């Protein structure tokens, strides 16, 4: 079986894995999804119980790259990707209560779950580019988290220059330092004299007309619409379920959700044969997805700042991937719906919604409940949750499914990244940065402050691409 990738809006050419890796949005504005999924039998899944993380990843991901990457090469890439995670289990489980678990996804270099995908993405891109004798430029805007994970993912990539824009003086010191202290001639941090929206607007304009780059180099996006990022995240659903008695016992997951990328990977794991009963969409006050599930109406909401900034979103772009399945993979219907959505709100089909509610539950968690949850889990278990993970734990409790299945909350970030939320929760212990980041505040920073003008930024980029 060779998987091809098709657009959710049905009007862009289908691609193989190599092509989809190097593509962001499809030409018709849609997102790429596999035209078929590998399906694993219970017996096959059971046979993976003893595998370590990279070996399990190899079994699960190989079908997705078939025809583009030989198994031996994928094996090498995966071993290299997860070698530097600080916990030898890569994604360890912690028990909070009889049937409550936390899956720690923050042992990668930037202490957030995005490392699982971006560490792999950087290596896959570099592997492909080396083979094609091609160089590319990655450009992104960040208000904090994704930027550092992308930079860490690309730091050793010979064929990639990465330019990350952040609003000058508007990201936290820890977040800025996680980006600007990474050494590498291919890493370029730009502090823009503007706000986050200005940064994003510049990235958008650059993607529309990338011809300012030298030698016709192409511009690649690493945001969560890139298929390879979703793919990488499927693995830890299998890994944790296997550790808890799966596939012979169904497992539920609670996922702190923003762009719907992480939880969509859980949905795919289920489609591929992993017994998952329910997936809980845990949102902060930016609750677009909770509202969709409750009412069937999908609409854009104004952005509200919360204690969990990585989940502060107005639209969950990856939700379109689920909609594609809800509408029986009819791209023309999705194209029409998204067209309407661009200028207003849409009502989703009632029977499709009913089906979605059988699989997804959802809960919105306030800042107050986030703090209470951090404080409660700290006093009950001596375990410190970051605010995003706390939302997952709170939603898991609120949705109490009563089905006797283990409930696994994805812990998406390390508490040391969000000391303000920890102290807002009244927890006196201040979380320490792990050893590899302990000297973060002594390291040399490298970034360039640029005025808020597109031509200035583009000229800087053109001049600083490596030879
Ligand atoms: C990105 C992020 C999320 C949200 O994940 P999505 O895939 O966008 O739903 C949650 N928590 C943390 C810490 C993140 O960085």
Report how far residue 229's alpha carbon sits from residue 207's, in angstroms, rounded to the nearest whole number. Answer: 19
The protein residue with its alpha carbon nearest to ligand 1, atom 14, reads 310
**Cβ–ligand 1 contact at 256 (below 6 Å):** yes
Name which of 227, 243, 364, 385 is nearest 306 in CA terms.
364
Angle at 264 between CA 261 and CA 267, to 5 degrees: 165
Name which of 126, 177, 173 is nearest 148 in CA terms.
177
Report how far residue 33's alpha carbon sits from residue 4's, in angstroms, rounded to the nearest whole number. Answer: 8
**Cβ–ligand 1 contact at 144 (below 6 Å):** no
Report how far residue 145's alpha carbon sits from residue 446's, in angstroms, rounded to the nearest whole number. Answer: 18
Work out the pLDDT band at 170, boundaries 50, 70, 90. Answer: confident
* Ligand 1 atom closest to Cα of residue 313: 8
What DSSP state is assigned to residue 161?
E
pLDDT tops 90 at residue 16: yes
Query: What is the CA 141 to chain-centroid distance, rounded?
Result: 15
Report how far residue 22's alpha carbon sits from residue 1's, in angstroms, rounded to the nearest whole number. Answer: 22
The pLDDT of residue 172:
81
Is the Cα dihedral 114, 119, 122, 123 positive or negative?
A: negative
The pLDDT of residue 249:
96
The pLDDT of residue 84:
86
**Cβ–ligand 1 contact at 114 (below 6 Å):** yes
What is the overall mean pLDDT for the chain? 94
* CA 147 to centroid of ligand 1, rounded, Å: 13
Nearest 5°: phi and psi at 7? -85, 145
The pLDDT of residue 204:
87
Residue with tokens 């990474």: 182
Report how far residue 464's alpha carbon sits from residue 450's, in angstroms, rounded to the nearest whole number. Answer: 14
Mind listing the pLDDT tens digit for each residue in 249-280?
Answer: 999 999 999 999 999 999 999 999 999 999 99
Instruction: Tell me, yes or no, if 135 is annotated catalytic.
Output: no
Buried b (16+ CB within 10 A) or exposed e, 337-352: bbeebeeeebebbeeb
The pLDDT of residue 436:
83
Mind listing the pLDDT tens digit for each residue in 296-352?
Answer: 999 988 889 999 988 988 888 899 999 999 999 999 999 999 999 999 899 999 999
- 49-54: which pairs have CB atoms within 8 A and are 24 or more residues apart? 49/242, 52/90, 53/82, 53/89, 53/90, 53/91, 53/235, 53/239, 54/78, 54/79, 54/81, 54/82, 54/83, 54/90
**Cβ–ligand 1 contact at 40 (below 6 Å):** no
All residues at 6 or more sequence positions from 436 whose CB lies less than 8 Å from its CB, including other chains: 86, 109
pLDDT tops 90 at residue 25: no
Mind listing the pLDDT tens digit for each residue in 195-254?
Answer: 888 998 899 889 888 999 998 899 988 777 899 999 999 999 999 999 999 999 999 999
Report how far residue 320's alpha carbon sits from residue 280's, in angstroms, rounded to the nearest whole number. Answer: 18
Report how far residue 47's alpha carbon sits from residue 331's, in angstroms, rounded to the nearest whole number. Answer: 37
* This prediction's pTM: 0.95
Report how far residue 356's alpha carbon sits from residue 223's, in angstroms, rounded to the nearest whole number. Answer: 25
pLDDT tops 80 at residue 137: yes
Is the Cα dihedral 223, 224, 230, 232 positive or negative?
A: positive
pLDDT tops 80 at residue 401: no
* CA 257 to centroid of ligand 1, rounded, Å: 6
* CA 100 to centroid of ligand 1, rounded, Å: 21
**Cβ–ligand 1 contact at 261 (below 6 Å):** yes
Work out the pLDDT band at 70, boundaries 50, 70, 90. Answer: very high
**What domains, with CATH codes, occur in the chain?**
90-109+229-424 (3.40.50.1100)
Instruction: Considering the candidates 75, 114, 204, 417, report the single residue annotated as catalytic.
Output: 114
């Amino acid at each position: 079986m060779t998987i091809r990738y098709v657009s959710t809006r049905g009007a862009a050419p289908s691609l193989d894995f190599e092509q989809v890796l190097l593509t962001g949005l499809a030409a018709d504005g849609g997102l790429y999804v596999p035209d078929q999924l590998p399906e694993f039998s219970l017996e096959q899944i059971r046979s993976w119980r003893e595998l370590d993380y990279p070996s399990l990843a190899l079994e699960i991901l190989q079908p997705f790259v078939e025809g583009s990457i030989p198994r031996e090469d994928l094996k090498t890439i995966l071993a290299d990707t997860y070698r530097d995670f600080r916990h030898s289990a890569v994604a360890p489980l912690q028990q909070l209560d009889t049937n409550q678990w936390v899956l720690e996804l923050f042992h990668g270099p930037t202490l957030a779950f995005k490392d699982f995908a971006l560490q792999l993405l950087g290596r896959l891109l570099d592997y492909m580019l080396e083979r094609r004798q091609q160089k590319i430029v990655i450009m992104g805007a960040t208000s904090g988290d994704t930027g550092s994970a992308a930079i860490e993912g690309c730091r050793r990539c010979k064929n990639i220059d990465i330019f990350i824009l952040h609003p000058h003086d508007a990201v936290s010191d820890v977040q800025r330092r996680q980006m600007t202290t990474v050494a590498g001639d291919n890493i370029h941090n730009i502090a823009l004299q503007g706000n986050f929206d200005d940064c994003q607007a510049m990235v958008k304009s650059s993607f529309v007309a990338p011809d300012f780059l030298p030698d016709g180099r192409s511009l690649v996006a690493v945001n969560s619409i890139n298929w390879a990022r979703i793919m990488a995240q499927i693995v830890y659903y299998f890994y944790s379920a296997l550790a808890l008695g799966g596939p012979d016992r169904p497992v539920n997951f609670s996922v702190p959700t923003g762009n719907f990328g992480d939880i969509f990977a859980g949905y795919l794991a289920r489609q591929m044969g992993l017994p998952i009963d329910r997936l809980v969409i845990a949102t902060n006050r930016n609750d677009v997805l909770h509202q969709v599930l409750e009412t069937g109406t999908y609409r854009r909401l104004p952005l509200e700042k919360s204690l969990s900034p990585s989940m502060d979103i107005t639209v969950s772009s990856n939700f379109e991937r689920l909609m594609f399945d809800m509408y029986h993979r009819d791209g023309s219907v999705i194209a029409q719906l998204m067209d309407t959505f661009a200028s207003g709100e849409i009502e989703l089909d009632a029977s499709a919604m009913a089906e979605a509610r059988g699989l997804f539950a959802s809960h919105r968690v306030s800042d107050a409940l986030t703090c209470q949850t951090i404080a409660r889990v700290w006093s009950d278990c001596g375990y410190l949750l970051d605010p995003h993970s706390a939302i997952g734990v709170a939603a898991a409790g609120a949705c109490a499914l009563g089905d006797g299945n283990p409930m696994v909350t994805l812990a998406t970030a390390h508490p040391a990244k969000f000391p303000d939320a920890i102290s807002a929760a009244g927890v006196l212990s201040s979380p320490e940065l792990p050893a590899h980041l302990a000297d973060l505040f002594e390291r040399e920073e490298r970034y360039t402050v640029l005025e808020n003008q597109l031509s200035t930024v583009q000229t800087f980029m053109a001049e600083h691409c490596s030879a």
